[in-house]
Chain A
Amino acid sequence: MSRLNSGGGRLRLPGPDLGLELCGIRLAHPVINGSGTFDAIAARRAFGEQLGERFPFSMFVSKTITPEPRAGNPPPRLYETPSGMVNSIGLPNKGLEGFLLDDLPELARLEVPLCVSVMAPSREGFATLVERVGRRDEVAAIELNVSCPNVKSGLIVGEQPSESRALCEALRPLTDKPLIVKLTPNCADPAAVAAAAAEGGADAVSLINTLRATGLDPATLRPWLGAGSGGLSGPAVRPIALDQVRRVAAAVEIPVIGMGGIESGADALAFLAEGASAIAVGTASFRDPLAADRIRAELAGELAERGLERLPPVPLASTST
């Protein structure tokens, strides 16, 4: 593996040009992180300055923040499943003020564009977050998390096209930063929600968030997770994610950021082929904090093997069915 770790995201690599522009943001390659699956601040404590030198993501997406601080859900928060895991973390975060004060300056030290993921229980809450975060120069983009299965927010925005359109229309005027809507897989027709978000003014959509799931403690037959249930991620969900990315990409003109169980360059290429402009690595980073770097290198290899000099400009999949 380390053989493949050829120099991290910042270096210009030999072989295919993986560079792209996403909502006007220049990215060195299409591999970013899934919100809440990589904490650059904690990782700097664990890995020291090497983190910056070999930072594997071309854009950094923060863990979702909320207007008020949240402690998160009671433990246990993790349950391992066949080829995946269920989490019930529950969006622990310092809240808007704490984030702007403590975390944002830290994250700004990263040499890649910064995307801040936000979530609120109300439209007003979202408005405050978008306005306050959008004002900061360190921030390149904002992701609207309308799809976390681990918080009971009054909103079911993510499940309903009309709600998604309305939210985007309300938030669009509040910032000129790109707005990325993070879609839920827990609905009948993600493509309809994506299309509505686009109509409402979203600049991009990202998917999938985790699938509602649970597991029992074999000893007690009670739900293992402190919160009772959580969200499934990892390779187990990849075929579901790939199908949803494909349907969404076929339904919208705006860029799609694809994720869900991506573990290899071949996986990443499949999502790009199905219409994603960029892909995110989540759970795979837990197995290897540099997984994204390996995936980026493998992706370059996959393109080179196919004699491609750059990323597929048109979704290959659009011609395939």
Chain B
Amino acid sequence: MIRAQVIVRPRASIFDPQGDAVGRAIQHLGVSKLKQAHVGKFIELELEGDDVEAVRGQLETICKDLLSNPVIEDYVLTINGKEDLTGLAASAAKLAKRSPKAKKEKA
């Protein structure tokens, strides 16, 4: 079985009202150190078979066309993250890096 995980996140320059509202709520609950919150989606897919390469292209397309809205969102796809931790690690790093980088681009 193949397991794929997709994280969809509002693009860095795009307003994220949901993140804002959640951030305000968290601050209200006493976490005064919170600077920012973003809310995205987490999608898990299970597919039959083992041939990761055979489905990778299809899954990328699905991420682009269905699971995310490229106009306002970015996504990270990880396939078989359990066996292949580097994938998930890379995703995490990518996600983590984006924000400061985005800010740098802007400045």
State yes or no: do A and B come from one complex.
no
